[in-house]
Amino acid sequence: MSKVDKKALVRLAIEAMKNAYAPYSHCLVGAALVAEDGSTFTGCNIENAAFTPTICAERAAFGTAVSAGHRKFSAIAVAGGKDGVLGEPFYPCGVCRQVLREFCADDMPVYIADGEDGILELTLADLLPYSFGKEYL
Ligand code: THU
């Protein structure tokens, strides 16, 4: 995926969502991340009976991508909904927004599934304005 095809990326996120392990919240979430070289990585949320070890789909995708040696990304798509029903956009949580901030530019597109066919297109800066990052350290 050299030039980011947002529809294809959202489809990958929807496919990843189907593997979500969410027996407690029943919120199924998938994410698809594009690395700078065009390779794609997906993740789903993985819940835990102790609750706090739960990992979000976006961070699962970053875990796989960074473990494979990628540090720069050009887009992410997120799809989610209660019982996997794609209704209202399922926005990335605050923790995931901060993880995006570690590896992605402010103007990086974040595509969020909006219903069955819609795509809400935001940037990281839209989701996390006035943010803190490594340049402050
Ligand atoms: N969740 C995600 O996977 N990504 C987000 O950005 C928001 C929340 C998951 C975590 C948990 O399994 C479920 O959605 C309900 O919070």
Residue 3 has pLDDT above 70, yes or no: no
How much is the pLDDT for 1? 43
Distance 56 CA to ligand 1 centre (A): 5
Is the shortest distance between the CB of 29 and ligand 1 below 6 Å?
yes
Dump strand ranges (E) for 9-108: 27-35, 40-44, 73-82
Nearest to 58 by CA among 93, 108, 6, 18: 93
Q: pTM, whole model, 2 decimals?
A: 0.96
Burial class (CB in 10 A: 0-12, 13-18, 19+), 60: buried
Residue minimizing CA distance to atom 10 of ligand 1: 56
Q: What is the mean pLDDT of residues 8-37?
A: 98
**For all residues of the chain together, what is the average pLDDT?**
97
Q: What pLDDT score was predicted for residue 17?
A: 98
pLDDT at res. 4 = 78
Q: Kindly list the catalytic residues.
A: 58
* pLDDT tops 60 at residue 26: yes
Contact 92, 110 (CB under 8 A): yes
Distance CA 13, CA 106 (A): 21
Q: Is 98 in the pocket of ligand 1 (CB under 6 A)?
A: no
CA distances from 66 to 24, 58, 59, 85 (A): 28, 12, 10, 29
For the residues 108-121, what does the mean pLDDT come to? Answer: 97
| CA–CA distances in Å: residue 54 to residues 20, 32, 101, 122, 133 | 11, 18, 20, 25, 24
Q: How far is the CA of 108 from the centre of ligand 1 (A)?
A: 21
